[in-house]
């Protein structure tokens, strides 16, 4: 209750800050002519990245016949749905005049990556929602059969959403086929969502963004942060809902190994992204790169690399590091490092354009978010956690039917 209350409070502060932004305009933010994409867009990229985990755990593992991840699929899917919801919200918050969103439909150009992004985000949201809902139908039947559910509206809700599921052969057959189709479909759409998001940057000619590596770089980073988020959720749900029987140490061990692979992958792309331009040190990119390596942004940059990637790899290479508690700490390090990494992708580049602007106040050449920006950004993060919290209170976070079936099959196999 305290946890939910804190999240609601953060959301309300965020709503108040947004009210101020709507009534006074974007001037309440510290975004100016130089940094026009600040903490909001960093948050957007972070949310899009974290949402990718749905496709990794639910689809890729499922299609690869990896069954140990079954108890984690719903955690991954609800993280994906809540993250993509707030990715859509924060992009509208970034607009000074949100009602002009309609212009994208009325006057949008198919040549613009923004149009592609809106289409692909909408599609990914819908697929994620279906992948969350359809596998949950058998569990809703179990919930419907419970007699002592109170209050009544929850029972009515279960009946509305899953009262029609009888578990017949035909229903199971259609459901299974639908889940396989969704699992196949979500992989290219998930790759598209983050590749297109990366193109919002890469199609702009700026230091740090002018890269052909950006799509793969974003996708690999997204898998890493998503896996980190799932590990945090695994630990929290396991501890507070006593799910030790379902989310075992083996799950942590395997997720740890997966995380090492993903961290190595992301490190590889980071080395590509920074070492090659740093080797050439082209004059127009020099200010940007030196600011990252040894200047104003160096503490954040090295924090994101070392805490978000290097330390997790070192710790998780040891078996003891892949135990639940160290994994939880590593998960937090990965997610926090990833958030700052998104900030570093967006902001420093904007401060170093190829053609500096003339006659702008000195204050435009630095950026630190205003309290309204912080409040809105924290409010959206709290909102995403609130969706997960409410979901977990209402629905089983472990796919009951699927896990039981798989365990039975495993036992029969023995």
Partner 1 sequence: MKENKYLLLFLLFSGILINNKVIAQDDSIVAEEIVKLKYYNSKNSMQFLILENYQRTRKKSEPLVNKKFQLYLDSIQPETLIAAITTNNTGKAKSFLPINLKNVWEASATHKFIAIAAGKEAEPAAAIEITKAKIHLDTTTSDGVRSITVTVSKYENGEWIPANEVEMKVGVLRLGGILPAGDEGTYTTDSSGTITVEVTKDSLPGDTNGNFLIAARVENNDQLGNLEVEQLVPWGVAVKTGKDFFSQRTLWSTRFKTPFWLLFMAYGIVLSVWGTLIYLIIQFFKIKKLGKIHTTR
Contact region for partner 1 (CB under 8 A) — 125-133, 213-221, 318-326, 405-413?
125-133
Based on the shown chain and the rule CB under 8 A, indicate whether residue 109 belongs to the binding site for partner 1: yes
CB 265 to partner 1: min, Å: 26
Contact region for partner 1 (CB under 8 A) — 108-116, 294-302, 336-344, 394-402?
108-116
Q: What is the DSSP string of 17-62?
A: HHHHHHHH-GGGSS--SS--S-HHHHHHHHHHHHHTHHIIIIIIHH
Based on the shown chain and the rule CB under 8 A, indicate whether residue 116 belongs to the binding site for partner 1: yes
Q: CA 42 to CA 50: how far, in whole Å?
A: 12
Based on the shown chain and the rule CB under 8 A, indicate whether residue 6 belongs to the binding site for partner 1: no
CB 26 to partner 1: min, Å: 16
Q: CA 413 to CA 179: how far, in whole Å?
A: 24
Contact region for partner 1 (CB under 8 A) — 24-32, 166-174, 211-219, 377-385?
166-174
Are 399 and 179 contacting, i.e. CB atoms less than 8 angstroms apart?
no
308 secondary structure, DSSP code: I
Q: CA 398 to CA 71: how far, in whole Å?
A: 5
Q: CA 210 to CA 231: how far, in whole Å?
A: 33
Sign of CA dihedral 238, 244, 248, 253: positive
**Which residue in the set 25, 27, 101, 163 belongs to the binding site for partner 1 (CB under 8 A)?**
163
CA distances from 146 to 130, 137, 141, 404 (A): 24, 15, 9, 18
Based on the shown chain and the rule CB under 8 A, indicate whether residue 299 belongs to the binding site for partner 1: no
Alpha-carbon Rg for the chain in angstroms = 22
CB-wise, 67 or 206, nearer to partner 1?
206
Based on the shown chain and the rule CB under 8 A, indicate whether residue 174 belongs to the binding site for partner 1: yes
Based on the shown chain and the rule CB under 8 A, indicate whether residue 100 belongs to the binding site for partner 1: no
CB-wise, 127 or 292, nearer to partner 1?
127
Site for partner 1 in 200-229 (CB under 8 A): none
Q: CA 13 to CA 7: how far, in whole Å?
A: 10
CB-wise, 44 or 165, nearer to partner 1?
165
CB-wise, 119 or 267, nearer to partner 1?
119
Based on the shown chain and the rule CB under 8 A, indicate whether residue 181 belongs to the binding site for partner 1: yes
CB-wise, 139 or 253, nearer to partner 1?
139
In 3D space, the residue among 189, 194, 201 whose CA is nearest the CA of residue 218 turns out to be: 194
User: 201: number of CA atoms within 13 Å, CB side?
Assistant: 29
CA geometry: angle 262, 268, 269, nearest 5 deg? 95
CB-wise, 363 or 408, nearer to partner 1?
363
Cis bond leading into 308, ω under 30°? no
Are 81 and 128 contacting, i.e. CB atoms less than 8 angstroms apart?
yes
Contact region for partner 1 (CB under 8 A) — 22-30, 104-112, 145-153, 205-213?
104-112
CB 119 to partner 1: min, Å: 6
From residue 361 to residue 380, what is the string marking binding to partner 1 with x (rule CB under 8 A)? xxx-----------------
CB 178 to partner 1: min, Å: 5
Q: CA 82 to CA 53: how far, in whole Å?
A: 12
Element at 136 (helix H, strand E): none
- Kindly state the number of chain residues that form the binding site for partner 1, as judged by CB under 8 A: 33
Based on the shown chain and the rule CB under 8 A, indicate whether residue 178 belongs to the binding site for partner 1: yes
Q: CA 274 to CA 214: how far, in whole Å?
A: 12
Based on the shown chain and the rule CB under 8 A, indicate whether residue 144 belongs to the binding site for partner 1: no
Q: CA 41 to CA 324: how far, in whole Å?
A: 32
By residue count, the chain amounts to 414
CB-wise, 156 or 166, nearer to partner 1?
166
**Which residue in the set 88, 144, 175, 290 belongs to the binding site for partner 1 (CB under 8 A)?**
175
Q: Which residues bind partner 1 (CB under 8 A)?
A: 107-111, 116, 119, 123, 126-127, 130, 134, 137, 163-166, 168, 170-171, 174-175, 177-178, 181-182, 185, 189, 358-359, 361-363
């Amino acid at each position: 209750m305290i946890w939910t209350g804190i999240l609601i409070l953060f959301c309300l502060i965020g709503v108040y800050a947004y009210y101020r932004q709507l009534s006074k305009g974007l001037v309440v933010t510290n975004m100016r002519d130089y940094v026009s994409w600040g903490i909001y867009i960093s948050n957007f990229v972070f949310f899009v990245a974290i949402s990718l985990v749905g496709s990794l755990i639910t689809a890729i593992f499922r299609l690869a016949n990896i069954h140990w991840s079954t108890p984690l699929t719903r955690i991954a899917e609800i993280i994906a749905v809540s993250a993509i919801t707030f990715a859509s919200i924060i992009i509208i918050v970034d607009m000074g005049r949100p009602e002009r969103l309609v212009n994208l439909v009325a006057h949008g150009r198919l040549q613009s990556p923004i149009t592609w992004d809106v289409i692909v985000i909408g599609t990914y949201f819908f697929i994620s929602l279906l992948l969350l809902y359809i596998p949950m139908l058998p569990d809703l039947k179990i919930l419907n059969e419970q007699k002592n559910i109170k209050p009544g509206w929850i029972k009515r809700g279960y009946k509305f959403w899953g009262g029609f599921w009888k578990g017949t052969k035909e229903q199971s057959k259609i459901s299974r086929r639908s889940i396989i189709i969704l699992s196949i479909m979500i992989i290219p759409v998930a790759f598209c969502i983050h590749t297109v998001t990366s193109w919002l940057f890469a199609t702009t000619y700026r230091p740090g963004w002018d890269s052909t590596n950006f799509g793969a770089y974003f996708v690999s980073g997204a898998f890493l942060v998503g896996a980190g988020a799932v590990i945090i959720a695994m630990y929290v749900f396991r501890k507070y809902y006593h799910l030790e029987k379902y989310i075992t140490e083996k799950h942590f061990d395997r997720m740890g190994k997966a995380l090492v692979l993903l961290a190595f992958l992301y490190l590889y792309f980071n080395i590509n992204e920074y070492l090659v331009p740093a080797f050439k040190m082209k004059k127009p990119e020099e200010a940007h790169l030196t600011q990252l390596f040894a200047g104003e942004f160096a503490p954040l940059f090295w924090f994101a690399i070392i805490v978000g990637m290097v330390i997790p790899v070192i710790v998780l290479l040891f078996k003891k590091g892949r135990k639940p508690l160290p994994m939880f700490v590593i998960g937090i390090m990965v997610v926090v490092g990833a958030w700052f990494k998104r900030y570093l992708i967006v902001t420093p580049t904007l401060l170093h354009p190829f053609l500096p602007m003339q006659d702008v106040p000195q204050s435009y050449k630095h950026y630190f978010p205003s309290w309204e920006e912080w409040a809105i950004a924290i409010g959206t993060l709290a909102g995403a956690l609130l969706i997960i919290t409410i979901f977990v209170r209402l629905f089983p976070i472990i796919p009951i039917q699927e896990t039981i079936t798989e365990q039975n099959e495993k036992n029969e196999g023995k």
